[in-house]
Every structure is written in C-alpha cells, then in structure tokens.
Amino acid sequence: MTTTAEVEAPTALEATRLRRAFGAVQAVVDASLTLERGTVTALIGPNGCGKTTLMLMLAGLLRPDGGEVTIGGLDPMQDGASARARIGWMPDVLGTWDSLTCTETLVTFGRAYGASAAEASQTAYSLLQRVHLAEYAAQPARVLSRGQKQRLSLARALVHDPDVLILDEPASGLDPRSRIELRDLVRSLASEGKAVLISSHVLSELDEMVDEAVFMARGVTLGESAQAEVARAKARWRVVALPGQDVHEALSSATRDWSPVEGADSSTAVVQVADAEDAAALLGKLVRKGVRISAFGPVGSALEQAYLSLDQDRR
Ligand SMILES: Nc1ncnc2c1ncn2[C@@H]1O[C@H](COP(=O)(O)OP(=O)(O)OP(=O)(O)O)[C@@H](O)[C@H]1O
Ligand SMILES: [Mg+2]
C-alpha cells in the first residue's frame, strides 16, 4: 500500500556530491542531481565525462567513494533490495542470455523481483506489446537486431514497475520510427508518475522528450550556469527574409538584441527574445517595416546549443 507521504513527495531520487574513482582515474568528481516524479531528466556530457559511472551509482550497482543517494528516502547501499526494487536500469549495452527467448528473459527477471510465474508471464506479455516486440516473444534473444535488443532491454528495466528509470543511451541503434516510439514511451512512463533519467548524445531528440537537463563535464555536474544557458538558447530565434531583403537594417532600428549569422548575408539574423509573445511582437514590427520574412523560429536544438556553448571538451 502506498502511504500519503509517498504520493505527495515529488522527489523520487536525490544524489548529493557523489564521487567515484577507478584507480587513478577520477570518473565522477562531484555529482549532484534530483529527479522528480513524473518528469524526464536528460544527463548530457561528452564521452568519458562520467555519465555511466554516475548512473551505475544511482542504480545502486556501483558503490560511491563519497556522497549520498536516496531513492524514495532509501539508501541503495544500506537498504539494497528495497531501494533497487524501485529502480529500473537500462545499460548502454544489453547483456542478454542469447539462448533465452524474449518472454523467458522478461519472466526470469520478473521472477527474480519476486513475481509469481503467472504475474511474470502476464507482465512479459504486456511489456513485449508495449515495446513492439510481441512477434518476437518466442524467439531467442540472439536473433534480435541491435535496435530490437535495445527495446528488450527497456522492457527488462520495466518488469518490476519501478518508480525511477535510469536509461543509458537508450536511443543508440534505434531507427527513426523506433526513436519516436521510445520518446512516446518515455513520455507515457513519466505521465504515469515515474521519474526518468536518460543519457543520450542525440541532443536534438532530447529537446522534445525532457523536462530538465543536467550537464556534466569531467566528472562534475554543472548546476545553475548550465540551466541559464539552456534558457538563453531556447530564447534564440532565427529570422530569414527573402533574398535581397535587409533584415539587419530593420532590426537595428527596432533596437533589438540581435546578431548576424556567420557566412550569411543581411537577409538572415538571429534575435534574442524574451518569450513567444515577444517574438510575435518583433515579427509584427519587421513585417510593418516592409521586410518580407520567409521563416522565423527557434534556432535548432536548445540543448545542443547550450551544450556547445558550455564548451566542455572530451577527456
Ligand atoms: N570500470 C572502470 N575501470 C576503470 N576506469 C573506468 C571504469 N569505468 C569508467 N572508467 C573511466 O571513467 C571515466 C568515465 O567513464 P564513463 O563510462 O562513466 O563515461 P561516460 O560519460 O558514460 O562516457 P560515454 O559518453 O562514452 O558513454 C572514463 O575516463 C573511463 O575511462
Ligand atoms: Mg557511458
């Protein structure tokens, strides 16, 4: 039975000042994050910055050298089984038992979490439907393509109906349709009240999927500065006028916060707007000045722009 306190507590997972070294390599130096129920959070950072190491610690699969994790108030290192029962982990590379069928894989995991045989096979059946693998239910996992294995891995992370889902690069290897399905599935899991943490390098896709973003560089989670950068990136809009039109002149007299686009002529510019309303007002002004605008909208992916402007390199 769920208590009222659990229903009301918005925080599903809280991590404070985690660190972890492997020998001389300080993989995670200082990482903190909060996952709220019903939200999807992106974990973004360059190769080797410590995302997988951090996720393993959050999932209770790797012991931190310092710092704290609580999952619904429980410490995964102290209250191992009950904390881990609340967490679903999807690794970046699925280790499947190749001889087991998809159904057997899910039933085995369900049973390991304490479900009866009947419950476990019912859950396996509905999860295989949910990840569009029903027709492979009786096939051994070794016949699955990489993308299909990813989907089986996601189903496996869901067998015990966890409150928190930690997905490491779930979109890698997925074709465009499967990515869209993944996005819809992740959103629907969040709307059921789960907290989802998702790492990915495909930032433009995360834009539409996530509510919050945590940036990480060299083992450290970047707090406010990264959030501010995302907000700034969201407010950057591109104006494109018909060839030969001078947007720059019109913008100068509108005294807006604008800049030319490198390599483009004066028919194109980027403006900083406060919000959509502000953008609409600016568009009205430009049109009244007689500029013939052919396109006006946010500049690409806000997460991608924020990521690039943070300028954190690989290690
Ligand atoms: N088991 C391990 N033993 C030794 N070093 C490790 C181990 N796991 C990770 N590291 C090192 O820790 C650092 C962080 O690795 P991690 O896998 O967490 O990065 P990541 O952000 O997930 O990278 P990617 O985007 O490539 O998946 C790297 O320098 C890596 O070489
Ligand atoms: Mg990784």
| 175 shares a domain with 41 | yes
Pocket test for ligand 1, best of 18, 22, 61 (most atoms within 8 A of CB): 22
Distance CA 212, CA 216 (A): 13
Q: For 206-259, what is each residue's pLDDT tens digit?
A: 877 888 889 998 999 988 777 777 777 778 889 999 999 999 999 988 766 898
Residue type (1 letter), 271? V
Supply the pLDDT for residue 177.
86
The pLDDT, as a whole number, for residue 4 is 46
Q: Are residues 86 and 12 in the same domain?
A: yes
Residues 39 and 17 grouped into a single domain: yes
What pLDDT was estimated at residue 85?
87
Do residues 151 and 249 both lie within one domain?
A: no
Domain of residue 293, residue span: 233-313
On whether both 161 and 31 belong to a single domain, the answer is: yes
Which ligand is nearest the CA of 25, by number? 1
Q: Identify the nearest ligand to the CA of 91 by its number.
A: 2
pLDDT at 276: 85
Contact 300, 204 (CB under 8 A): yes
Same-domain check for residues 142 and 282 = no
Does 161 lie in the same domain as 37? yes
Enumerate residues lining ligand 1, CB below 6 A: 22, 25, 27, 45, 47-53
Name the band, by pLDDT with cuts 50, 70 and 90, for residue 1: very low
Region 104-129: what's the mean pLDDT? 94
129 and 68 part of one domain: yes
Are 28 and 145 members of one domain?
yes
Total domains, the chain: 2
Residue 82 Cα to ligand 2 midpoint, Å, equals 26
181 in the same domain as 258: no
Q: With 80 as the cut, is the pLDDT of residue 90 above it?
A: yes
The atom of ligand 1 lying closest to the CA of 55 is 18
- Residues 192 and 270 both lie in one domain: no
Q: List the CATH number of the domain containing 244.
A: 3.30.70
Report the nearest-CA residue for atom 2 of ligand 1.
22
How far, in Å, from the CA of 226 to the mean position of ligand 2?
20
**Is residue 77 over pLDDT 90?**
no
Residue 8 is predicted with a pLDDT of 53
Q: From the CA of 56, how far away is ligand 2's center (Å)? A: 10
Taking the CA of 53 as reference, the closest ligand is 1
Round the average pLDDT of the chain to a whole number and report it: 87
Q: What mean pLDDT is predicted for residues 9-29?
A: 93
Same domain, 160 and 244: no
pLDDT in tens, 134-152: 999 999 988 888 888 889 9
Domain stop point among 178, 203, 228: 228
Task: State yes or no: pLDDT of 5 exceeds 50.
Answer: no
Domain end position, chosen among 160, 194, 228: 228
Domain C-terminal end among 177, 211, 228: 228
pLDDT digits (tens, 9 = 90+) for 272-312: 888 889 889 999 999 999 999 999 988 877 787 777 777 65
Residues lying with their CB under 5 A of ligand 2, a single-atom ion: 51-52
Indicate which CATH number applies to the domain containing 63.
3.40.50.300
Q: pLDDT at position 46, please?
A: 87
